[in-house]
Structure 1
Amino acid sequence: MVSLFEHQDSQEFFERAYSLLMAEADRGCVLLGVSMLDEELTTMFKSRLLKDTSKSLKKEIFDGKGAFGTLSAKLDIAYVCQILPEDLVNCMHCLRKLRNNLAHQASPFTIQENSETIFNILNKISSGNLFVGIANMSGELVVQAFLQKIMDTSHPLDEGKKLFESQEEAISYLEQNDELKTTLVEKKIKTMFVIGIACLGALIIFHREKHLSMIENKA
């Protein structure tokens, strides 16, 4: 899981995705997340263009009416050209369909209520137990954020004293508070989706660099 983010671009994508998407409402989180993957695919294909390609030609190719103008087209081309593996392409096609449905849906949307759909989409990545890694990382991040916040909370009746004296005491409080546990589970599900987007972006970057290396070795 950690090795997936070794490349500097992958680290930056993770940090950007996490900070932007966690701040979004659930609908915006999905729409923006898929848009970020779309942009990463565009970057991948642009990296393969000749250096002297004109701006006008780039615009024509990647314009909405061009050959690479849609997310669907980019995914299909990436698969046909054997740049991205089938499981990754299928996963992102499913995210694309979810995004399209959301864009035309006026009814309320929450990631929690659609968690089974999202789990099934992310679980399409077959290599390296990625889904398990995403689940573990999201749980750790949510608990760490909770502990950091609650350990900094001052006692409401005892000035100068913290609300909890130890993390064990804070965890014990969490385990006895069903409402708080429900809130953290909801946050974990959204965090899983966000980390999933970050991992998909990192996979695009991984395959981008792998393919560029193959081309350079053949030159």
Structure 2
Amino acid sequence: MSNLTDEESRQRFEELFTEMFSESDRGCILIGASVLDETLGLYLRSRLERNDHVAKHAAEALFSGMGPLSSFSSRIKLAYCLGLIEKWEFEDLERIRKIRNKAAHEYSGKSFADNEIIQITMHLQGADHAVSAAEFYREKVEQSEMPKLKDASAPPTKERLRFQFAVVYLAGRFDMHWTLLHKSNDQ
């Protein structure tokens, strides 16, 4: 299991989220869910892999191929059962997974203008937490550069922003937990 430095972690998130913010609605949904799947998987693995032997001979099989923790759904449920995520995080992850499944598995193009997706994004609590955090850190947020959308003529919808804020907030929390756990294990 590799340890990322704070700078590597920051760069990784910057690249992932720049891509998510610059994509079409469907691309944003798929990338956002993928980011959460990856960061939740890293967080879970860090809690399960006590040593290199466990990582190589047990955890690897759980998370790869057809392993029981290879799906986003199973990772969400295990993290919640183990008390690694709060109820609101579980519910948001399930909502994001549902939106992802609609974007990935339905032939018609799904967007944040779709009524069903609008209804789901209205309940993403991570977006509310992200807005609260942004208000708390307003000065830093105002000084940061937001990624530009490919189609600058069309500003993002409220639903798209709620989705993006929820993804960024949740992924940041999982990454922070993973990083803190690694730092405490290294000491």
TM-score, with length taken from structure 1: 0.61
Paired residues of 2:130 and 2:169 also in contact (CA < 8 A): no
Q: Deviations over 1:149-169 (max 9, x none)?
A: xxxxxxxxxxxxxxxxxxxxx
Paired residues of 2:118 and 2:159 also in contact (CA < 8 A): no
- Corresponding position: 1:77 with 2:95: no
Q: Which secondary structure does the structure 2 equivalent of 1:183 belong to? A: coil
Inter-CA distance 145–97: structure 2 relative to 1 (3 Å threshold): closer
1:161 is matched with none
Paired residues of 2:103 and 2:109 also in contact (CA < 8 A): no
2:174 is matched with 204
- Aligned residue type for 1:183: A
1:176 is matched with none
1:105-144 mapped onto 2 (5 Å cutoff): 105-113=106-114, 116-122=118-124, 124-125=125-126, 129-130=128-129, 132-133=131-132
Q: CA RMSD in A?
A: 3.6
Q: Partners of 2:157 and 2:46 in 1: how far apart?
A: 36
Q: Partners of 2:61 and 2:105 in 1: how far apart?
A: 27
1:145-156 mapped onto 2 (5 Å cutoff): none
Q: CA deviation at 1:40?
A: 0.6
Larger Rg: 1
Q: Which secondary structure does the structure 1 equivalent of 2:51 belong to? A: coil
Paired residues of 1:9 and 1:205 also in contact (CA < 8 A): no
Inter-CA distance 108–9: structure 2 relative to 1 (3 Å threshold): same
Q: CA deviation at 1:133?
A: 3.9
Inter-CA distance 26–145: structure 2 relative to 1 (3 Å threshold): closer
Identity percentage of aligned residues: 26
Paired residues of 1:21 and 1:29 also in contact (CA < 8 A): yes
Q: Deviations over 1:49-70 (max 9, x none)?
A: 0222253533311024223121
Flag structure 2 segments of 5+ consecutive residues without an equivalent.
1-5
1:14-29 mapped onto 2 (5 Å cutoff): 14-29=13-28
- Corresponding position: 1:183 with 2:150: no
- Aligned residue type for 1:109: K
Paired residues of 2:126 and 2:165 also in contact (CA < 8 A): no
Inter-CA distance 188–8: structure 2 relative to 1 (3 Å threshold): farther
Q: Partners of 1:135 and 1:189 in 2: how far apart?
A: 17
Q: Partners of 1:25 and 1:187 in 2: how far apart?
A: 12
Q: Deviations over 1:24-63 (max 9, x none)?
A: 2211110111011101111112222022225353331102
- Aligned residue type for 2:119: T
1:193 is matched with 163
Flag structure 1 segments of 5+ consecutive residues without an equivalent.
1-6, 147-179
Q: Partners of 1:87 and 1:111 in 2: how far apart?
A: 21
Q: Partners of 1:191 and 1:13 in 2: how far apart?
A: 20
Q: Partners of 2:38 and 2:147 in 1: how far apart?
A: 29
2:88 is matched with 87
